[in-house]
Structure 1
């Protein structure tokens, strides 16, 4: 959860405080709360109250000459409470001694003289806020590094303990080998007793020579291979290499393993029975030596595992069919949807399963599709939609997203990772659409245009429906806002819009071509939503035009919201001179012209949304 952050302004003049609050609010937006205090004592009381409520204080701005408590004394006391907060002294009457005290005792970040320059003040505050955020992030990374070092030290200790355990195991293993040799020497003495057990055992027991002839076999072994007696088995099978094992590779491998290692464990193979039928067997065998360590024979146990093998084949076939079924279901219920619900397969999903998490929602829609479809047959409409969707889907999948649903020509996609994934997917969709339009142009087809809206926020993901039919869905205001944002692209004449929620969660916003459009107040919501255009997917000429005019465009927006409509109009006219295809600049120019004639124009609006301004 994001910590609430506040910037405090302290001055004994109410007019100065209001001016500070207004300029800072316009400069840094709604991400920070701007609080004011008309003196040092009031500021300290405010800080104590907000600290108790869990707020952080990136920056405090204070006048110097104030009644009861001067600015350098206030900043010194604030430093004792909030050492990481950056302090700015904003005054026209501070002497060098006061500034020196503030720098020494309060770690003053910067001194700005009155009257101040708005750009200088706003830039200083932005730099201070960014410096505070970077220091905070660095502290967190250092803490993580310290934890990793501690974990590494703990792992080294565990490794030492494992080495000690391994040494102990080696000593014990050596002792066991010695004991085994001793037991083998006593084995011959117990042979008579063993023979009684050998003859009456219910499992197959055998002895074979190193070249593959039966020396002995009990009745269970003979019956396993389909012979009446052990004698018949040993007389008939004179070379197991050629008369017993079905697979030549396994036939050779069994004796080779015995020769190389003196033992085999759980050796499985197919063998022939007397009647020519084939069964599966499992063998465990080891070499037997005399007192001079000369090889006498191989002795082992054998069991029929045909039924088990058949069950394994059936299980593998069932697993394959289940996998194919899951693959088929995944085309209707995305694998990522199951992962979000912590389900292994579609069979585990129950009606009412749900999970609450933050995700990015992407809506995309073909512009004027209804008009286009009126000129086409139903077959061609389906062919067009499938050709379009098949090109858009990889852009979403390759950027760690999944498609929640298709709505005719519309797409709703979800991204549970970084907000960058959703934005990259939208840009990729526009690039792929450009390639598709080139292909359509070769066939003299009308090019397609789409609008994309992206929003990031909390939502509920789960299943809805009834006993015989259910569907996956997502529910939240975040989803509705993304859909409305896609509709707004038509009004602005742009291809891709994102909210400030998505913009704030981008890991590397500087990697994209993004510009602020305006703030939108959605009906029923108290806070406005900032809307940004991402134009990396525009045609190269239009994108270069927007990049070249970005600063002029932003200056026009600043003047417009300062209500300097004549100056703002000049800026937007300059933008359109260099980039006549900038539809947003055209809209703002029209608004400026209407404002100058005291007539308020209607601005592009989201459905069910109040007018902005």
Structure 2
């Protein structure tokens, strides 16, 4: 039995048979299609599946049925199985029934009988996509909650004190060991200026309070990572020397909003604890250094905690979006620079491109000279947003290159989405991570096509259909290309979201006319395509792609 089920409910056997056949053709390979002739039977089937651990993704129900009506059935299903997506397929539903299904069953969609097959299949496809997307989010949230629980357990079990302070210096968390070392029952109300006096913090070997501005936690709240051993807690009957390490905690804008402090009594264990701190720090720095050569996401994909666990020949298949970018005429530029200037130029450019990829949850697989290959898991929007942001960053960078000897930089970006194989290749002396597959080759081909069509950002039809909302981008279909080794052509879309405002608006104004001309051209009707391309150019003289097609029509 397949893992996921689509359940159909209708009291008319002929309707069930017709609907089942339709869905079997389109979804039968991946989903089990089940049918029930009443609401009561549907609830029994759902209960059996629940007991057997089989997930029902979508329920499609008629409204007018003996016994349980469709809206009543869907409401009961929603109470018991809120994750299931509900669709009402009926020709006799009253507005009240539909409204009840929407309000009490979170109805996903209402479809009237007789149904349009295309609309029905598209609705179910999108419903299934949403169902799996919600499931993925739930799994991610569950993992986050579990990670938080484990982190709290770890902190409470640690033999060192751990405290967290906000920007005012107030202690917002202390684990059990910290409360023991600081002799706390409750977290005190204090601020930065009161920290030394509240906790009796002195400079080691003196009777002087530790200067507030030099306190490790205060320095970390200012953005500095600190580790000191010159700090003591003075009590009436004893002095407790502490080793303290503090670190700033930053938000997405790189601003410090908290700082964490880790400290321990080093009276008897100073040497052993110092060695452990050194080992931990070195290991962290080593992992940080290796992460610059092997992206952490690669380790995650291969289910490896660190670089030492990677083995030659490991691989895994993932659905990813791949982005290729390249500087136009880089060879010509580099011939005019010495080797040091060439490296400075490349690094200056790459430093401005990298943030656009990181900010959109992608990672750079490799640099190939001036070229970038980046990968994005999840929504294809991340890759497209990164491409648009790269062009925006480049426009800002070009504004700083207004000297006579510095020509503006132009780049091309190609994005494709599909299943890739990630893994390790190499020999006994050296291994490297890589990504292979047709989807990679197509992404590279799209980047090359940006030169042909004289436009900076192209995406494939595969990426287009994986966008959560394609309407939020300024884009248009510009070609269908033949991929080497493939029979079907691939649609190519230009994303002109980062174009200057006047050119962007001009392309939007002529989009329908351009795409109609493209259809005529693809069908070999160049006489009908040519005047449309000509009209596009009259309204938008900068449209290089329309110019290319107009010239092709004249051949």
| TM-score of the pair, normalised by structure 1 | 0.53
Deviations 1:442-492 (A, max 9, x none): 454111111001111111112111222111111111111111110111001
Q: What is the aligned partner in structure 2 of residue 373 from structure 1?
A: 334
Residue 519 of structure 1 corresponds to which residue in structure 2? 480
Residue 399 of structure 1 deviates from its aligned partner by 1.0
Q: Give 1 or 2: higher helix fraction.
A: 1
* Alignment match, 1:346: 307
Distance in 2 (alpha carbons) for counterparts of 1:83 and 1:346: 48
8 Å contact kept, 1:247–1:269: no
Return closer, same or farther for 1:427/1:52 CA change in 2, 3 Å cut-off: closer
Aligned CA distance change for structure 1 residues 369 and 144 (closer, same or farther; 3 Å): closer
**What is the rounded CA distance, in whole Å, between the counterparts of 2:368 and 2:133 in structure 1?**
44
Matched, 1:574 2:545: no
For 2:468 and 2:360, locate their aligned partners in 1 and report how far apart those are by CA, in whole Å.
15
Aligned partner of 1:269 in structure 2 is 240
Partner of residue 50 from structure 1, selected from 2, 14, 25 = 25
Q: Distance in 2 between matches of 1:387 and 1:431?
A: 16
Q: Matches of 1:534 and 1:440 in 2, distance apart? A: 25
CA distance in 1, matches of 2:300, 2:237: 45
Which residues in structure 2 correspond to 1:34-113 (within 5 Å)? Answer: 47=22, 50=25, 53-54=28-29, 103=91, 109=113
Distance 2:470 2:427 in 1: 43
1:542 corresponds to 2:517 = no
Aligned residues: 368
Q: 1:508 to 1:109 in 2, by over 3 A?
A: same
Aligned: 1:399 with 2:360: yes
Match of 1:336 in 2: 297
Asked whether the 8 Å contact 2:241–2:266 carries over to 1, the reply is: no
Q: Deviations over 1:80-99 (max 9, x none)?
A: xx9679xxxxxxxxxxxxxx
- The within-5 A match list for 1:124-523 is 130-133=122-125, 250-252=233-235, 269-270=240-241, 308-523=269-484
Is contact 2:240–2:267 with CA below 8 Å preserved after alignment? Answer: no
Structure-2 change in CA distance of 1:131 and 1:446 (3 Å): same
Q: What is the deviation of 1:427?
A: 0.6
Q: Secondary structure at the match of 2:352?
A: helix
1:361-387 Cα deviation digits (max 9, x unpaired):
110001111112222222221111111
| Contact in 1 for aligned 2:387/2:457 (Cα 8 Å) | yes
Query: Runs of 5+ in structure 2 lacking a partner?
Result: 7-14, 33-58, 63-89, 94-110, 143-205, 208-228, 243-264
Give the Cα separation in 2 of the matches to 1:248 and 1:52: 67
Distance 1:529 1:553 in 2: 18
Q: Distance in 1 between matches of 2:112 and 2:465?
A: 29
> What is the correspondence of 1:523-602 to structure 2 with a 5 Å cutoff?
523-594=484-555
Determine if contact 1:495/1:538 at 8 Å carries over to the other structure. no
Q: Secondary structure at the match of 1:250?
A: strand
Specify whether residues 403 and 248 from structure 1 end up closer, same or farther in structure 2 by C-alpha distance, changes over 3 A only.
Answer: closer
Q: Describe the shift of the 1:429–1:553 C-alpha distance in structure 2 as closer, same or farther (beyond 3 A).
A: same
Instruction: Measure the CA separation in 1 of the matches of 2:134 and 2:433.
Output: 42
For 1:24, the equivalent position in structure 2 comes to: none
- Tell me, yes or no, if the aligned pair for 1:519 and 1:530 is still in contact at 8 Å: yes
Q: Deviations over 1:125-146 (max 9, x none)?
A: 765655555666788899999x
Following TM superposition, by how much is the alpha carbon of 1:526 offset from its aligned partner in structure 2, in angstroms? 2.3
Name 1:296's counterpart in structure 2: none
| Matched residue, 1:79 | none
Q: How far has the Cα of 1:309 moved from its partner? A: 3.2
Return the alpha-carbon distance in structure 1 between the equivalents of residues 419 and 23 of structure 2: 31
Structure 1 residue matching 2:452: 3-state secondary structure: helix
Alignment partners' CA distance in 1, 2:136 and 2:307:
38
Partner deviation per Cα, 1:236-287 (whole Å, 9 max, x = no partner): xxxxx99xxx9995341667xxxxxxxxxxxx9359xxxxxxxxxxxxxxxx
Say if 1:436 and 1:443 are closer, same or farther in 2 by CA, change over 3 A.
farther
Unmatched 5+ stretches in structure 1: 6-39, 58-81, 86-101, 112-123, 152-240, 256-267, 272-303, 595-613
- Asked if the contact 1:396–1:413 (Cα under 8 Å) also holds between the matched residues in 2, the reply is yes
Residues 400 and 417 in structure 1, CA contact (< 8 A), matched pair in contact too: no
* Greater Cα offset, 308-317 or 42-51: 42-51
- Return the TM-score normalized by structure 2: 0.58
User: How has the CA–CA distance of structure 1 residues 472 and 313 changed in structure 2, closer, same or farther, with 3 Å as cutoff?
Assistant: same
* C-alpha displacement of 1:586: 1.4
Change in 2 beyond 3 A, CA 1:590/1:308: same
CA shift at 1:514, angstroms?
1.2
* CA distance in 2: counterparts of 1:362 and 1:381, whole angstroms: 23
Q: Which has the larger radius of gyration?
A: 1
| CA distance in structure 1 between the partners assigned to 2:27 and 2:231 by the alignment | 80
Aligned residues of 1:336 and 1:402 also touching (Cα < 8 A) = yes
The 3 A distance-change label for structure 1 pair 449 and 84 is farther
Alpha-carbon displacement from aligned partner over 1:318-366 (angstroms, at most 9, x marks no partner): 1111211222222212222222222222222222232221111110001
| Contact 2:315–2:424 (CA under 8 A) maintained in structure 1 | yes
Q: For the structure 1 residues 556 and 139, does the alpha-carbon distance in structure 2 shift closer, same or farther, using more than 3 Å as the test?
A: same
Q: 1:84 to 1:376 in 2, by over 3 A?
A: farther
CA RMSD of aligned residues (A): 4.2
